[in-house]
């Protein structure tokens, strides 16, 4: 058998293997139904989160967004309020809300891409994973990208509005530093370092709040049929 024959056999083998793999990749009716169901609930849940983010008033009163506030910033705000500096805290919250609004246009393409990239295998895993599995999948795929994408926007918003400078000035006051040291158990230099992270705290609140709102919506509204779940488990 000469080289040409071997080449033809090799090409035939590759063609048959490719055909078989292609056949395996085809979506069965069950897989397609699973994919459609997951994409539908994720589109709805993320739209709900974006609605909250793009309206400053909704952002400020939303329970999940409030829960997402990092403990470090919550402690700082609580003490500032106790020291009669509620106006600084209110200013900070209002401008974090504005930063959240600005982040919507940056988050949308990332969300759409992640949802479009979901495979039938991903969808099956999500549907059989229980309540909240779709949001957790999306969080795993997008959280790091969310943070990297919106933090510069958040930082710019807080800097341009003067919030960063305002909070800096308050935290650099010795009276405030000493009071914060008592409540947080940190020395003044550590507290001063915390101040440098206001934008990262705000970013964390926006991103974590986004996923908490989405998950709450998913848990309350996802209704994958028992027949679909059973067919995927088999």
pLDDT, tens digit, 9 for 90 and up, residues 13-22 = 433 344 344 4
Alpha-carbon gap, residue 200 to 155, rounded angstroms: 8
Q: What is the average pLDDT across 100-110?
A: 98
Alpha-carbon gap, residue 103 to 151, rounded angstroms: 9
207 touches 110 (CB < 8 A): no
pLDDT, tens digit, 9 for 90 and up, residues 120-161 = 999 999 998 989 999 999 999 999 999 999 999 999 999 888
189 touches 16 (CB < 8 A): no
Written as six digits, the tokens of 24 are 């395996």
Nearest to 72 by CA among 193, 161, 223: 193
Examine the pLDDT at 228 and tell me if it is beyond 90.
no
Alpha-carbon gap, residue 234 to 229, rounded angstroms: 9
pLDDT at 229: 53
Q: What is residue 1's DSSP assignment?
A: -
Q: What would the DSSP string read from start to end of 27-73?
A: PPHHHHHHHHHHHHHHHHHHHHHHHHHT-HHHHHH-HHHHHTS-HHH
Evaluated on CA atoms 119, 123, 125, 131, the torsion sign reads positive
pLDDT at 222: 82
Nearest to 183 by CA among 79, 77, 73, 71: 79
pLDDT at 223: 76
Predicted model pTM: 0.79
- 39 or 32, which is more confident? 39
Evaluated on CA atoms 132, 135, 141, 142, the torsion sign reads negative
Alpha-carbon gap, residue 137 to 139, rounded angstroms: 5
Nearest to 68 by CA among 218, 232, 213, 172: 213
Q: Which of 5-9, 141-145, 172-176, 203-207 has the lowest mean pLDDT?
A: 5-9
- Domain residue ranges in the chain: 32-116+123-233
């Amino acid at each position: 058998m000469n080289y040409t024959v071997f080449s033809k056999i090799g090409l035939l083998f590759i063609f048959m293997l490719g055909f078989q793999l292609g056949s395996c990749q085809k979506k069965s009716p069950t897989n397609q139904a699973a994919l459609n169901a997951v994409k539908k609930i994720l589109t709805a849940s993320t739209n709900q989160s974006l609605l909250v983010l793009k309206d400053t008033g909704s952002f400020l009163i939303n329970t999940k967004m409030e829960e997402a506030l990092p403990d470090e910033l919550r402690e700082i705000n609580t003490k500032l309020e106790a020291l009669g500096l509620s106006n600084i805290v209110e200013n900070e919250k209002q401008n974090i809300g504005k930063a959240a609004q600005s982040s919507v246009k940056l988050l949308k393409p990332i969300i759409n891409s992640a949802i479009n990239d979901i495979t039938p295998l991903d969808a099956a895993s999500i549907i059989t994973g229980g309540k909240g599995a779709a949001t957790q999948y999306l969080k795993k795929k997008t959280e790091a990208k969310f943070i990297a994408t919106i933090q510069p926007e958040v930082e710019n918003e807080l800097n341009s509005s003067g919030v960063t400078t305002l909070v800096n000035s308050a935290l650099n006051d010795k009276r405030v530093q000493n009071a914060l040291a008592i409540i947080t158990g940190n020395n003044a230099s550590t507290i001063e370092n915390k101040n440098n992270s206001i934008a990262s705290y705000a970013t964390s609140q926006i991103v974590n709040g986004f996923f908490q709102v989405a998950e709450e919506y998913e848990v309350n509204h996802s209704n994958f049929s028992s027949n679909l779940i059973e067919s995927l488990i088999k």
